[in-house]
Amino acid sequence: MNSLSLADGAFAEEFFPFTQTRPVADLRCGILTIREKWELLLKDRKDFSDSLTEKSISVPGHILPDSSLAKSISNGINDTLLNAARRLENLPDLLRWNAVEMISDFQLLTKGRQSQPVSSTNRVTGADIFLEEGAIMEHCIVNCVEGPVYIGKDALVMEGSMIRGPFALGARGVVKMGTRIYGATSVGPHCVIGGEIKNSIFFESSNKAHDGYLGDSVIGAWCNLGAGTSNSNMKNSGGEVRLWNPLKRKFTDAGIKCGLMMGDFSRSAIHTAFNTGSVVGVCCHVFGEGRAPVYLPSFSWGIHGETYAFEKAMQHISRWKKFKGEILRPEEMNQLKTIFDQIKTPS
């Protein structure tokens, strides 16, 4: 988007591992990323476009915009509205604000539009369900009383799936047969999901295609969770969950419930078990006997401290991308090489 600068700041370090590979504005919270929210809110705003000829407008990338804030942009930032706006302060905020943002994004995406017909083979409770063009959903149970259900363009929800809103499935996403989904769960485009999922976010092109539990978790792009992979989202003691941030060299309090935070291009083997409040870096291959540690650095090979060889990692990522008809781009490889070099030569 050329019309607005969404700037990172020191706050970007709070969102490890996801900001290793993207700006804060490209984090998904709700149905949309922060950048996509701005784009929709400012779409066809001639008054805003004209104002750019006079000045450049910059907004911190962790602000979650609404219509009032977007309206004020054409006259410059309204500090009162900006200070009052919701924002992401740390990693747990992605989940904290997810339900509220899903409801807001649903209204933004569907305003003045008509859903594709919902097949009579489905059992639907509530009215806030929207299917984009090409979406297919048959023989499912959907409850959208507590939050809306949004099914993206050319997405497929297979028979026997049970969904409680708020829930969103991005374009060309797939929900496998018999999947159980609790809100608030937001699944980005080109993802495949199955098993039991609750209050989680998938960025894009990631898979959790088989049985296993995922709760209160955030999964980056191009990840794959092997069959039977599950995570804990609450301590048996009922105590506060804490997430380790290696960039800040400190723990962040994450509330009573927090599961797995997995960076881009990471994968888990069949039947992997993740602890409460686990953080997995970028480009990890998680396997090995026993439960995975609560923190795995980027480019981990297994759970016992070995490093994923860079050339092998790129070969494996290229294969995974090929499954979805894409290639590993040179800019992605360069970015991953920078992360790898930092791992090998820590400051």
Residue 347 pLDDT: 46
Residue 49 pLDDT: 52
Kindly state the DSSP code that residue 19 receives in the 8-state scheme.
G
Residue 84 pLDDT: 87
Per-residue pLDDT of the chain (347 residues; tens, 9 = 90+): 446 889 999 999 999 999 999 999 999 999 999 999 999 998 866 555 554 445 678 899 999 999 888 888 766 777 888 888 899 999 999 999 999 999 999 999 999 999 999 999 999 999 999 999 999 999 999 999 999 999 999 999 999 999 999 999 999 999 999 999 998 999 999 999 999 999 999 999 999 999 999 999 999 999 999 999 999 999 999 999 999 999 999 999 999 999 999 999 999 999 999 999 999 999 999 999 988 999 999 999 999 999 999 999 999 999 999 999 999 999 999 999 999 999 866 54
Residue 121 pLDDT: 98
Residue 82 pLDDT: 85
The span from the CA of 86 to the CA of 76, in Å, is: 19
The span from the CA of 180 to the CA of 342, in Å, is: 40
Interaxial angle between packed helices 34-41 and 98-110, expressed in degrees from 0 to 180 and rounded to the nearest 10: 30
Beta bridge partners of 187: 169, 202
Torsion (CA) 192, 194, 200, 204 in degrees, nearest 10? 0
Residue 70 pLDDT: 87
Residue 45 pLDDT: 63
Residue 72 pLDDT: 82
Please calculate the CA angle 159-163-168 and round it to the nearest 5 degrees: 105
Does residue 199 contact residue 180 with C-beta atoms inside 8 Å? no
Q: How many CB atoms lie within 10 A of CB 305?
A: 10
**Lateral strand order in the sheet of 185-187:** 129-131, 149-151, 167-169, 185-187, 201-202, 218-219, 260-262, 278-280, 295-296
